[in-house]
């Protein structure tokens, strides 16, 4: 931690990038925030892939072996081949959460959310209403915009003095 981040020597870009990612102050802060949030819910988070021995092993493996044939998780798949079903080993994506997200957003935003009573101070109500109606009408590309309305409203409700609820 006392050594400047840019002066840590690694023989390959992959090792350098892995080291910088794992040693970044943001990563430590992110893990700490996740652990506190989980603790409030009575959970204890575990990060088995961040075990120091495993990190040291991965950093010691040349990048040509870590990314054989362009496959990012080849080593992990090989290590777990005898315990995972073939359909899990063969999966190459993270899944598509579009449908459940759209269902949840449709329930959460029947109109422009304004539980806080403060959203209209920051968002044009008429424009927001048109956007939410377009989303409900099938404009799925607006899901992030609707998500931002909901999260802004929840944040205002929770943290701004004078919000209704």
- Per-residue pLDDT of the chain (165 residues), as tens digits, is 455 555 667 777 778 888 888 888 888 899 999 999 999 999 999 999 899 898 888 888 877 777 777 777 888 888 899 999 998 888 887 778 888 999 999 888 888 888 899 988 899 989 999 999 999 999 989 999 999 989 999 999 888 877 665
Looking at the fold, whether 9 and 45 belong to one and the same domain comes out as: yes
**Which among 148, 146, 152 is positioned nearest to 118, based on CA atoms?**
152
Q: What is the pLDDT of residue 68?
A: 73
**Which distant-in-sequence residues (6+ apart) come within 8 Å of 35 by Cβ?**
45
- Residue 24 is part of which domain span? 5-89
Q: What is the pLDDT of residue 58?
A: 84
Task: Examine the fold and report which residue of 55, 89, 123 is the final residue of a domain before the chain moves on.
Answer: 89
Count: domains in the chain: 2
By three-state DSSP, how is residue 144 classified? helix
Asked whether residue 163 is assigned to any structural domain, the reply reads no
Q: What is the pLDDT of residue 5?
A: 56
* Cα separation values, 75 from 22, 59, 119, Å: 19, 13, 48
Asked whether residue 103 is assigned to any structural domain, the reply reads yes
Q: What is the pLDDT of residue 88?
A: 87
The C-alpha atoms of residue 68 and residue 5 are separated, in whole angstroms, by: 28
The C-alpha atoms of residue 107 and residue 130 are separated, in whole angstroms, by: 17
Looking at the fold, whether 30 and 61 belong to one and the same domain comes out as: yes
């Amino acid at each position: 931690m006392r050594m400047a981040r840019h002066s840590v020597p690694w023989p390959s870009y992959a090792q350098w990038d892995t080291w910088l990612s794992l040693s970044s102050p943001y990563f430590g802060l992110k893990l700490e925030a996740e652990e506190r949030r989980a603790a409030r819910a009575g959970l204890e988070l575990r990060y088995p892939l961040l075990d120091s021995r495993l990190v040291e092993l991965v950093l010691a493996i040349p990048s040509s072996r870590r990314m054989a044939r362009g496959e990012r998780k080849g080593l992990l798949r090989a290590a777990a081949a005898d315990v995972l079903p073939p359909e899990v080993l063969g999966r190459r994506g993270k899944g598509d959460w579009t449908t459940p997200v759209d269902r949840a957003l449709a329930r959460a935003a029947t109109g422009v959310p304004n539980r806080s009573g403060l959203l209209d101070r920051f968002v044009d109500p008429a424009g927001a209403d048109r956007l939410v109606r377009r989303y409900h009408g099938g404009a799925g590309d607006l899901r992030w915009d609707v998500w931002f309305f909901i999260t802004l409203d929840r944040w205002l409700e929770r943290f701004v003095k004078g919000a209704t609820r």
